[in-house]
Chains A and B, each alone.
Chain A
């Protein structure tokens, strides 16, 4: 056996590919997959929201109920009065697939929130600002408008897909749904300009239906003082120009529909 010393001409065990190119291909693929899933989830939200039955929506409230129950820390009398006003709106002027429930939260924030399952959370700060029952009715009807148009479900965003799937497969009290529910900060839910306008339109119609006039509908929007932090005012007063635009829209609608204005009924949060 003869030994011929010779080194191999090329190395078959190491691929000659450029590592930078490989990184670009792999990272690009990963990025494309993430963007694709993000877009798909966005489309899925649009598909899911109109198809959720009221019964399923009630079950979706499960993960949020714990959060909502923390909110009932204001006087029960106040809550009951707001609830009575809401009930009148529901019975006479706005047909919702399920009854809405009001929760009042102590705090200076001037805002109201629409949680899944028909739970409206109103901050005490908002009730303190309200001078008339009509004003409050408009705020409530505005929130009801979000329910009718299902903005409160869209507002949850892409997480809605996971919450819906986990609720339908594992039930409303599954740990998965609870983790998802508590991770979401619905107090910072933002609605689009179109959604707010539709809710305002609905609110104005409901106000006219309840009182026969639309007095007090824009009062609430006039309340934002020039020197105050608009952030306190939640989604009613996103910014000054936006606020002005919404008042204009309401006034224009009032003219277009021939609604009349009359003095509103006074309201005080402390009886």
Chain B
């Protein structure tokens, strides 16, 4: 009985805190995306501009680690039984990716574009152990290109 109470408390905590944190994070993501929208980012490797117009190029990267909450893990483990889209993890990955891209952009506020952008993900923590806390890392990196003022 006491186990059930602990379990239900954890689920309620996971749902309450998880939803609150996620909503707040999404609000911040949207604000910052709007604020950094002037800086284009692209996956292309080559840009059509003359070498003499380029002032500098540099590697920029941003990474974010987002943890699973208890409620989302419960949903995912139930989903593991039946199969199908693990919807509860979709928002975690989305947040991690967008946060990583934002941090990358914020590293190069002076740049004119970031090219050759790549996103990689990794799981952090005791991922193999089912009882361990699963975290997701998204790492975004690219080449920030700054052009000369005269160009």
Contact = CB atoms under 8 A, between A and B. Distances in A.
Interface string B75-87: 1001101100101
Interface stretch (A21-29, A101-109, A138-146, A261-269): A21-29
A17 B85 CA distance: 11
Interface stretch (B54-62, B88-96, B134-142): B88-96
A6 B71 CA distance: 34
Interface stretch (B34-42, B102-110, B123-131): B34-42
Contacts, number: 46
A19 B87 contact: yes
Contacts of B91: 14
Q: Considering residues B30, B33, B82, which has the most beta carbons from chain A within 10 angstroms of its beta carbon?
A: B82
B117 to A, nearest CB: 14
Given A7-B33, A19-B15, A13 B78 contact: no
- How many of chain A's residues touch chain B, expressed as a range? 10 to 19
A14 B37 contact: no
A5 interface: yes
Contacts of B79: 26
A1 B90 CA distance: 33
B37 A7 contact: yes
Given A7-B34, A11-B94, A15-B90, A1 B48 contact: yes
B89 to A, nearest CB: 10
B94 A23 contact: no
Contact of B38 (A5, A11, A26, A29): A5
Contacts of B48: 1
Contact of B40 (A3, A15, A26): A3
5 contacts: A7-B33, A15-B90, A20-B15, A22-B75, A27-B78
